[in-house]
Amino acid sequence: MWFVLEGRKLYLLPVTGSETQWYRNVLKTPDVRIRADGAEAALTVTPLLEKSDVSSIIEKFRTRYGDTGMKYYSKLDVAAVCELDR
């Protein structure tokens, strides 16, 4: 999964937008567990539906991954954010 970490916020952009299965799951159960490089964390995902919020996150992804990385995204109608505890 691709992400953008900014301060204590982890931004997520589903590849197929609101049709992405993990995003649909988050709508039902926002508590998730993530693992990376041997670290693990329990987080609560907040879905974002407002066009201005989604647009802001798309720009963060475009800045990080460029237009080449953005070509993998087929639907840009939703996004999500998690607050990191520490």
Write the class of the CATH domain 3-83: mainly beta
Give the global pTM.
Answer: 0.88
Domain boundaries defined on the chain: 3-83
Helices (H) then strands (E): counts for the chain: 2, 5
Instruction: Look up residue 19 and give its DSSP letter.
Output: G
Q: What is the pLDDT of residues 2-56, one digit of tens each?
A: 899 999 999 999 999 999 999 999 999 999 998 888 988 899 999 999 999 999 9
